[in-house]
Amino acid sequence: MNHLASRKKKHLKENLEAFAYLAPAGIILLVFWFLPVVLSVYVSLTNWKGADTLDMVRFVGLRNYLWAFRDEYFIKSLLNTFNYVIVSVPTTLVVALIIAMLLNAKIKCAHIFRTVYFLPFVTTWVAISIVWKYFYHREFGLANHLLMNYLHLGGLNWLSEPRGIVEMLLAPLGIDIGSPLLAGPSLAMVSIILTTVWRDIGFCMIIFLAGLQNIDRSYYEAAEIDGASWLQKFRHITFPLLSPVTFFLLIISMINAFKVFVPILIMTPTGGPDNTTSTMVFYLYEKGFRGLWLLGYAAAIAYILFVIIMLLTIIQNVILGRRVHYEA
C-alpha cells in the first residue's frame, strides 16, 4: 500500500510540474486567443459600434450575417477574394515547383539561388508592398520603364486600372466580354497577385525541394532502364510522390490567400479602382476600424470568412486527400 501511494504521489507531482510549465503558455492562449474568439462570436450577434457603451449594445441575432449577403460591396469583396485565391495560389505553386526542380538538379551555387529565392519570404510585407508600389508607379516606376523603353509598349496604370485582365487582353481583338465575372481580376489586383507570387514562391520552393530530395533515386533509375522520358518520369514518379507536399502547400497557400490584407492596404489603400482590390479582410477592416466602427458587422464578416475557409479545406481534404500518395 505504501509503495502504491508513493507511486501515485510521484505521478501527481509529475503532472503538477507539467501543468506548471504549461500554465504560462496556456494562460496567454486563453486570454489572447480563445477568449477573444468566444467574445467575437457574441460581438457578431450585436449592433456594437466602437464608440458605444455597454448599455447601448443590443443583441440583433443573425442580422449582421443577413445584412452581409445583401451588401453589394461585401459581395464584390467576396468575388475579389476568390479571384485573388484562384489566380495567386496555382501560379505560386507551379512557379515554385519549376524552380525547385531546377534547383534540385546538379547546378553550381544552388545554395546561393535557394537563399536568393527565399529572402523575399522573410522580408516584412510592409517593406515589400512599399517597394512594389513604387515599382508600379505610373510615371517613375520600373515596370512602365521596362515596357516603354525595352518592349516599346505604352505604360499601364498598374494600381489604378479597374478593367479586368481578360477584358484588357481581348479588347485589341475587338472581343467584348460583356460580363464582369468573365473579365477576370482587375489589372490592379493582378499587380498585387504578382507581388504575392514573388514573395511566396521562396517558401513553397523550399518545401517542394525538400520533397524532391526525399524521393528515392532508385525509382528514376528503374524508369530510365525502361526508357521513360522526362515527362513520363515526372507524371508517374515525381508528381505522385510529391502529392503530400503539394497537398500541404495547397491548403496552407489557400488559407493565407484568403487572409491577404497588408499589400492591399498599402498598395491600394482605398480598395483599388472601383473597389476591385477590396478583399474580405480589407472590407472587414474598413467596416470595423474606419468610419462608423461597425464592430458587430466586422465580426460577422470574419466568421463568414472562417466558414468559407473551413468548408473549402474540408472539401479539399475529401476530394484531394484520397488522391495523396503516401510512400510506404
DSSP state of 119: G
Segment 157-185 shows an average pLDDT of: 80
* 281: β partners: none
pLDDT(3) > 70: no
pLDDT(314) > 70: yes
Say how far apart CA 323 and CA 162 lie, in whole Å.
39
Give CA separation, 288 vs 112, 229, 296, 297, 320, in Å.
Answer: 44, 56, 8, 7, 36
How high is the pLDDT of residue 178?
66
Q: Select, from the ranges 66-75, 155-164, 236-245, 318-327, the one with the highest average predicted confidence (pLDDT).
A: 66-75
How high is the pLDDT of residue 290?
84
Question: Mean pLDDT in the chain?
Answer: 87
Segment 59-73 shows an average pLDDT of: 92
C-alpha cell at 14: 509529475
Exposure class string for 104-114: b at 16+ Cβ within 10 A, else e: beeeeeeeeeb
Range with the poorest average pLDDT among 45-54, 84-93, 182-191, 248-257: 45-54
How high is the pLDDT of residue 2?
61
Range with the poorest average pLDDT among 5-14, 240-249, 250-259: 5-14
pLDDT(156) > 80: yes
Domain 79-278 -> CATH class: mainly alpha
Segment 293-298 shows an average pLDDT of: 90
Range with the poorest average pLDDT among 168-182, 203-217, 295-309: 168-182
How high is the pLDDT of residue 4?
66
Tens-place pLDDT, residues 89-136: 999 999 999 999 988 887 777 778 888 888 889 899 999 999 999 999
How high is the pLDDT of residue 238?
85
Tens-place pLDDT, residues 175-192: 777 667 777 889 999 999
